[in-house]
Chains A and B, each alone.
Chain A
């Protein structure tokens, strides 16, 4: 089955004089994915996101939304770039009304969206009186107006306290489960790992790698982390015909098994051999390890 891309960039480049901020990046963002954009400071993340959102003009190259042109249909993309763009003298509700007018959406839905991000009690308060976390949530609320198909969030966790981070993370997961594609950049690797299904790693304006973080399943193999009190675990696992590799990593055993075997068939097999597992979790490459390896 072909996965439809919501965004495709083709050799997109941005130069400022002799400095190349983004150099010939070609990226496809699959529909329904949570697409993480990672990179150290100055790697071109914000410039890249600015170009796909239409506010930074590419020097060369092109991009297309929904297999169309460089511009997207009104209301189908919501975005935040760098800090929240708010008028300090304008209240929260009017900010959302303004966005509703731009997107041609129903103004009456604004209060519901404020409620969704937990700002309904300050709807009439000026944005200038908000904390950074509240500003960030208001900007996300603004981006959510019109039920966009894609949400582009540049460092949306900046300035949020742990509760705020959890709320935004849950919101992203909820949006993804609703079928919204999320393109997110963040330097909080742990958070990226918790929400992303795909990764693009930038370094000095170049795309150095793209990864699919599809849990532990990468095509024909599945990686698992298991633990048992039984001393025969390692030997039993190695004798199983679907086992590709098994190695002891501290208190756990990391196992790679071959399709059609799965975590449940492994568990059944070990149960039949009289071994009870006390720990069985899918294993995926840590984003931090991937990031450090690719950007060193």
Chain B
């Protein structure tokens, strides 16, 4: 593991651009998350209310974890594509071939690519908790109800990332795998989901998107003093998403074991 990290660090140092993009994306997310407390309630309700959700005390609640996790989901495509481009370098420059010739196992060569992905997921999840805690430092309501949402974000990201990596391992090219990923996730799967009805449960991205419900209605309900129905992370979608992630990583691994590099 120590050697794998050292090897990937040498590669990363030579290709900082992808990680710069990921870093900027994370920074952008943090800035947006912090600025969100200045969001006016009127813009959501259509009423002429110029008070911000921060000043109304709505942004110091456990809901913030759901909000941050939901918003973090908007940034996942940039990160996934950056990782795909980075991982594709190993195919482009035949690094897998070199590593295996030099005595690395196929397992080591395959899973070394996941080091930075796992590190990113851990870091972003921690950021979600820290940011949520920092922004709602004065409030303590409902925290336990919402504690799972950052984990749900991690799983939502993992599903898309695992599809992206699988496509990259199948095509061995960044460009074509990115196009397939975008076409599938933005066009094909929504159409299939619309037509499929009950079969939606077997669609990975539908399930992963169902993990974190859009929280904005809750703010309106809270502002109006109306009761709202708490919807946590749905267990079935959570489990199905985990299974899909394991499945995609597993198919990629199986293909990599069999492939001529």
Interface residues of A (CB under 8 A from B): 50, 53-57, 71-81, 85-91, 94, 97-99, 101-104, 126, 142-143, 145, 152
Contact = CB atoms under 8 A, between A and B. Distances in A.
B191 interface: no
Interface string B79-113: 00000000001000111111111111100000000
A167 to B, nearest CB: 22
Given A57-B258, A102-B7, A102-B103, 13 more contacts: A56-B260, A56-B261, A57-B259, A72-B103, A74-B103, A77-B101, A81-B101, A85-B93, A87-B89, A90-B10, A91-B14, A98-B7, A103-B102
Given A50-B260, A55-B97, A102-B3, A87 B14 contact: yes
B224 interface: no
Contacts of B35: none
Contacts of A74: 103
6 contacts: A55-B100, A78-B101, A79-B102, A86-B93, A89-B15, A101-B3
Nearest to B89: A87
A73 B104 CA distance: 10
Interface of B: 3, 6-7, 10-11, 13-15, 89, 93-105, 258-261
Label chain B's interface by main secondary structure.
helix
A54 B11 CA distance: 23
A192 B246 CA distance: 50
Given A87-B14, A90-B14, A98-B10, A54 B95 contact: no
Contacts of B11: 87, 90, 98
A95 B100 CA distance: 15
B103 A55 contact: no
A231 B247 CA distance: 85
A76 B11 CA distance: 24
Contact of B103 (A75, A89, A126): A75
Nearest to B94: A85
Contacts of B94: 85
A94 B14 contact: yes
A58 to B, nearest CB: 10
Contacts of B10: 90, 94, 97-98, 101
A261 to B, nearest CB: 46
Contacts of A53: 100-101
A56 B100 CA distance: 11
A103 B89 contact: no
Counting from the closest, the 9 A-B pairs by CB-CB distance are A74-B103, A85-B98, A90-B14, A85-B94, A89-B14, A79-B101, A101-B3, A55-B261, A102-B102
Nearest to B3: A101
B211 to A, nearest CB: 37
Contacts of B101: 53-55, 77-81, 152
Contact of A85 (B14, B97, B104): B97
B260 A87 contact: no
Nearest to B5: A101
Contacts of A54: 100-101
Contacts of A97: 6, 10
